[in-house]
Amino acid sequence: MASCLVLGGAGFIGSHLAEVLLQAGHRVRIFDRPHLDRLPSFLQRREFEVFTGDFLNPYVLSAALEGSEIVFHLVSTTLPKTSNDNPVYDVESNVVGTLRLLELCRSQGVRKVVFVSSGGTVYGVPRSVPVDETHPTEPICSYGIQKLVIEKYLQLNHRIHGLDYCVVRPSNLYGPRQRLDVAQGAVAVFLDRALRGQPIEVWGDGSAVRDYLYVGDAAEALLKAAAFEGEPRLFNIGSGVGSSLKQLIKEIEALLGRPLAVAYAAARPLDVPVNVLDTSLARRHLGWTARTSLAEGLRRTHASMR
């Protein structure tokens, strides 16, 4: 079993990944911002080694990396909807921060880096669906651009220095522990407003189609990506099923057993009309496929929010 460091391990995806890694028998370290009170309760168990600090501080990051064999990079300082507001900050905090991370990984003898990119933003407006990994990458937000830049630097580091890596591009993730204060995703926001008796706010006419992937399935994909060796080193992970925002609302109505009030607003320029991922490569090479239906994932998310 390997010593694994999860950067962003107290967050939405990272906490689920840490749990899966521990269940698989790995030694798990968590690095996140210095807010231990925000840690999910199970992460406070002594089985987890917890480091806190600023991702951009090489001294605290180096301490967490010491002795780590596999590093899962889930840190992102921006979201797609805010990244265009300050692209300079997006690049300085994410791209430059990752370049320092890769230098530290080499000096500390890290064997492999698994990076969570973005299947929802790097492709831009799809020319065809489902979207496979060979589709042109033409992102329409800074978030997607910085993810692609980091992918390229991982490739360069492997070529020059031999640092192994794997990139996963998840679709629209949802599930328990998704943050509401920064509106990480439509599922959590819609469910929260429905439970509060507030109208659901939809950008556009509700026809936008997304590939909703349950976070537990994504954590399993990351586990398999860490174990996979060789080519390819880039994988889409998604449900492979497209659902419009209107369909998502109907699923929530069926779950709650009542109609919901919906308010429509002008579409945002950063939102593509459709995004559904082709996950054939992950199925073929990782032996992974999404197992949780949208209805079941919504049920689990709803149960956790209650």
Closest CA to 117 of 105, 96, 133, 136: 133
Whether 80 is covered by a domain: the verdict is yes
Domain span at 119:
3-173+213-238+277-290
Q: How many CA atoms lie within 13 A of 35 on its CB side?
A: 8
Contact (CB, 8 A) for 184 and 245: no
The whole-angstrom separation of Cα 214 and Cα 298 is 9
Whether 152 is covered by a domain: the verdict is yes
Closest CA to 143 of 83, 99, 62, 76: 83
Whether 60 is covered by a domain: the verdict is yes
pLDDT at 110: 97
Across the range 96-116, mean pLDDT stands at: 97
Tell me the per-residue pLDDT of 193-228, one tens digit each, with 9 for 90 and over. Answer: 999 999 999 999 999 999 999 999 999 999 999 999
CA distances, 99 to each of 1, 149, 233 (Å): 27, 10, 19
Catalytic residues: 143
Can you give the length of the chain in residues?
A: 306
Percent of the chain with pLDDT over 70: 95
Whether 247 is covered by a domain: the verdict is no
Is it the case that residue 182 has pLDDT exceeding 70?
no
Whether 207 is covered by a domain: the verdict is no
Across the range 10-15, mean pLDDT stands at: 92
Whether 260 is covered by a domain: the verdict is no
First to last CA, the chain: 36
Contact (CB, 8 A) for 203 and 265: yes
Element (H, E) at 50: strand 48-52
Query: Tokens representing 72?
Result: 């899962």
* Spacing of C-alpha 270 from chain mean position: 18
Tell me the per-residue pLDDT of 40-97, one tens digit each, with 9 for 90 and over. Answer: 666 666 788 999 999 999 999 999 999 999 999 999 988 788 888 889 999 999 999 9
pLDDT at 1: 85
Q: Taking phi first (over 0 means left), then psi (-120 to 50 degrees means alpha), and beta for anything else, what does residue 162 get?
A: left
Please give the tally of structural domains in the chain.
Answer: 1
Whether 22 is covered by a domain: the verdict is yes
Give the bridge partners for 282, in sequence order: none
The confidence band for 107, taking pLDDT boundaries of 50, 70 and 90, is very high
Tell me the per-residue pLDDT of 234-283, one tens digit each, with 9 for 90 and over. Answer: 999 999 999 999 999 999 999 999 999 999 999 888 789 999 999 999 99
Q: Which CATH number belongs to the domain containing residue 81 in this structure?
A: 3.40.50.720
Helix (H, G, I), strand (E, B), or coil: what is residue 170?
strand
Whether 120 is covered by a domain: the verdict is yes
